[in-house]
Amino acid sequence: MTNSKTATKTPQQPVQARAIETRARIIEVAMKTFAERGYDGANTRDIADEAGATHGAIRYHFGTKEELWKKTIETMFHQLRMHVYGEDGTELLNIKDPVKSMREFLSRYIRYSANNPDHARIMISESVRGGPRLEWMAENFIKPAHKILMKETQKQIKSGLLPDLPPVSMFYIIVSMCQMPFVLSKEIKLLHKLDLQKNPAIEQHIDAVMAVLVRNGS
């Protein structure tokens, strides 16, 4: 005798899988589009077309353009946390040697920035414009992260591992060194024939940042 639960559940699984794939693909295209065009220049019909989805799929999964943007930002910061800090957020905390811990943090952050340059591009775009979207990002994602990272920056300055500079300046110097070369990767490739988004250029950039920032960091 056929199990009625199994019979009704099985056909739904491929449909659900396709829906998840469609949603993820829309977010991936949306991230690229928001980075390249900004929020105001992004068009949800264009996003749907590039994602191989219908405009109705965007309305179904996200509702409005603003909600699509918010879900894209949420996904972006989740990817950052997972890549840099790991599943439970404690991987870096388990490294006791401060130089090794700093190198691991910079290595993970730089690799993330190399593979996800649209993160920084979106941040720059929203920071230039200011307004409610930046405030929403700051309240939900940036402030909590900066609270932890600023504390760690102050600690490393006090220990002598980082240069004795104002903590906010030092923090944004680190962020800029890790992110900006990849934001400008097309310019660098055009002018210097160097593809920073591939190895060995990524590893060389990690070494360069360590050499500049961290005392006895080689």
As a whole number, the mean pLDDT across the chain is 91
**Six token digits for residue 201:** 């250029």
Give yes or no for residue 10 having a pLDDT over 60: no
Task: Give me the pLDDT at residue 82, please.
Answer: 92
Rounded Cα gap, residues 116 and 56, in angstroms: 28
Query: Count of CB atoms within 10 A of residue 130's CB?
Result: 9
CA angle, corner 34, sides to 29 and 39, nearest 5?
135
The predicted pLDDT at position 5 comes to 46
Task: Tell me the pTM.
Answer: 0.87
User: Tens digits of per-residue pLDDT, 129-153?
Assistant: 999 999 999 999 999 999 989 998 9
Domain 1-72 grouped into CATH 1.10.10.60:
yes
User: What distance in Å separates the CA atoms of residue 55 and residue 46, rounded to the nearest whole number?
Assistant: 9
95-218: which CATH number, 1.10.357.10, 1.20.58.340, 3.30.470.20, 1.20.140.70? Answer: 1.10.357.10
- The pLDDT score that the predictor gives to residue 80 is 95
- Tell me the C-alpha distance between 194 and 186, whole Å: 9
pLDDT tier, 16 (very low <50, low <70, confident <90, very high otherwise)? confident
Where residue 7 falls among pLDDT bands split at 50, 70, 90? Answer: very low
Q: Domain-by-domain residue ranges, the chain? A: 1-72, 95-218
Distance CA 62, CA 205 (A): 38
Tokens of 213: 């920032």
Write the pLDDT tens digit of every residue in 88-120: 767 777 888 889 989 999 999 999 999 999 999
Positive or negative: CA dihedral 137, 143, 144, 150: positive
